[in-house]
């Protein structure tokens, strides 16, 4: 029972940054913008989040620093792709490279330092329930926030007029512009939201997952978050399933290494990313009705003057 509980708790912790980052990217792509710079925004959010928490002693302020860092980096992407109509794929890749270098510069003075990890919820009587107590009532605030964020995005996209407009822009920005909707402004807000989520997801790593910062600690999680959006067919409901599935693969390969299976450790470390590729291939082969992606995804929009 204790082993099962420990594994489930570890899966939740490993899945949370994926879920937060993928939720933000889902909104961005639903607006018709493809931002491949999630990895870069996450690692900058991790560096700034740790720096903020270490300097102020507050996990909350550290998380806010990560959100601000991710948002500012997303504004660079927005300026290039929305303001100057630069290719979104190339700009996103450049943003990742910039973020990796910038995080190394920001975090250079904090390598080896530690902060107090985010506190876990404790409700007397409920948290002490065997097996489910710590899982449901003993997590840190980031875990609950990730689920609340996903529910909020689902309600926004499918239960509000603003969400309908955003999805319409992602499907046909020319028609939306003809109807009088501010396409570029709405896409700007979507890109900023995606950047804020990526920054928060990055900040979660040194503030809750591990209480220290090391260069490159995102370890490709931004790319997995991008794959999760495709895995979910751009639907929030499937996003949580994919995030916990890939989180489980990450944790189980660590337990498999600890159990001493006769499998090279390099292969086990690559297993989460190999699973990502396999799942994407299977999804692509299973779709018979064409792509479910927003029709205008990745297409540059220049309004008529």
Domain range enclosing 229:
2-286
Q: Is the model's pLDDT at 275 over the cut of 80?
A: no
**Phi first, then psi: what are they for 171, rounded to 5°?**
-90, -40
DSSP string covering 14-59: HHHHHHHHHHHHHHHHHTT-----HHHHHHHHHHHHHHHHHHHS-H
Q: Is the model's pLDDT at 280 over the cut of 80?
A: no
Report how many domains make up the chain: 1
Please answer whether residues 157 and 166 qualify as being in contact, where contact means their C-beta atoms are separated by less than 8 angstroms.
yes
The answer to whether position 303 is within a domain reads no
What digits encode the pLDDT tens for the residues 28-52?
999 999 999 999 999 999 999 999 9
Q: Give CA separation, 46 vs 102, 176, 203, 209, 215, in Å.
A: 11, 36, 4, 11, 9
The answer to whether position 291 is within a domain reads no
Residue 11 CA to residue 2 CA, distance in Å, equals 14
Q: Quote the pLDDT of residue 289.
A: 56
Q: Is 207 left (phi over 0), alpha (psi -120 to 50) or beta?
A: alpha
Q: Quote the pLDDT of residue 291.
A: 64
Helix, strand, or coil here: 212? Answer: strand
The answer to whether position 304 is within a domain reads no
User: From the DSSP assignment, how many helices (H) and strands (E) are in the chain?
Assistant: 12, 0
The answer to whether position 22 is within a domain reads yes
**More reliable by pLDDT, 262 or 124:** 124
Rounded mean pLDDT, 109-120: 90
Range with lowest mean pLDDT among 52-66, 73-87, 255-269: 255-269
Residue 3 CA to residue 12 CA, distance in Å, equals 14
Q: Quote the pLDDT of residue 6.
A: 84
Mean pLDDT over the full length of the chain: 90
Residue 234 CA to residue 239 CA, distance in Å, equals 8
Q: Which residue in 94, 82, 115, 150 sits closest to 303, CA to CA?
A: 82
Range with lowest mean pLDDT among 121-125, 149-153, 167-171: 121-125
The answer to whether position 36 is within a domain reads yes
The answer to whether position 305 is within a domain reads no
Give the dihedral sign, CA 76/81/84/90: positive
The answer to whether position 301 is within a domain reads no
Range with lowest mean pLDDT among 2-6, 19-23, 28-32, 102-106: 2-6
**CATH number, position 54:** 1.10.3470
**More reliable by pLDDT, 190 or 280:** 190
Q: Is the model's pLDDT at 288 over the cut of 60?
A: no
Q: Is the model's pLDDT at 137 over the cut of 60?
A: yes
The answer to whether position 183 is within a domain reads yes
- High-pLDDT (> 70) share of the chain, %: 95
Residue 117 CA to residue 59 CA, distance in Å, equals 8
Q: Quote the pLDDT of residue 253.
A: 76
- High-pLDDT (> 90) share of the chain, %: 66
**More reliable by pLDDT, 289 or 153:** 153
Q: Quote the pLDDT of residue 125.
A: 84
Helix, strand, or coil here: 129? Answer: coil
DSSP 264: -
**Phi first, then psi: what are they for 209, rounded to 5°?**
-75, -50
Range with lowest mean pLDDT among 26-40, 61-75, 253-267: 253-267
**Runs of H (alpha helix) within 259-291:** 265-286
Q: Quote the pLDDT of residue 286.
A: 66
Q: How confident is the model at residue 152 (pLDDT cuts 50, 70, 90)?
A: very high
Q: Is the model's pLDDT at 269 over the cut of 80?
A: no
């Amino acid at each position: 029972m204790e082993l099962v509980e420990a594994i489930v708790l570890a899966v939740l912790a490993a899945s949370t940054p994926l879920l937060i980052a993928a939720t933000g990217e889902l909104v961005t792509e639903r607006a018709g913008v493809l931002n491949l710079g999630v990895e870069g925004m996450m690692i900058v959010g991790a560096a700034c989040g740790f720096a903020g928490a270490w300097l102020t002693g507050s996990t909350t302020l550290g998380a806010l620093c990560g959100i601000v860092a991710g948002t500012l980096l997303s504004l660079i992407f927005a300026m290039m792709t929305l303001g100057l109509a630069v290719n979104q794929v190339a700009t996103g890749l450049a943003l990742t490279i910039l973020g990796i270098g910038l995080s190394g510069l920001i975090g250079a003075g904090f390598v080896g330092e530690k902060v107090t990890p985010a506190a876990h919820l404790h409700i007397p009587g409920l948290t002490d329930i065997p097996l489910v107590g710590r899982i449901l009532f003993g997590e840190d605030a980031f875990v609950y926030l990730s689920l609340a964020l996903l529910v909020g995005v689902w309600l926004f996209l499918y239960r509000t007029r603003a969400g309908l407009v955003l999805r319409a822009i992602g499907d046909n920005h020319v028609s939306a512009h003809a109807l009088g909707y501010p396409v570029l402004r709405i896409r700007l807000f979507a890109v900023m939201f995606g950047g804020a989520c990526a920054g928060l997801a990055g900040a979660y790593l040194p503030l809750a997952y591990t209480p220290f910062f090391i260069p490159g600690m995102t370890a490709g999680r931004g790319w997995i978050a991008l794959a999760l959006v495709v895995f979910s067919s751009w639907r929030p409901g499937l996003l949580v399933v994919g995030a916990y599935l890939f989180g489980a693969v990450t944790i189980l390969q660590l337990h498999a290494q600890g159990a001493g299976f006769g499998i090279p450790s390099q292969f086990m470390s690559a297993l989460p990313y190999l699973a990502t590729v396999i799942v994407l291939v299977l999804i692509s082969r299973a779709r018979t009705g064409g792509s479910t992606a927003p029709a205008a995804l990745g297409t540059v929009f220049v309004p008529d003057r």
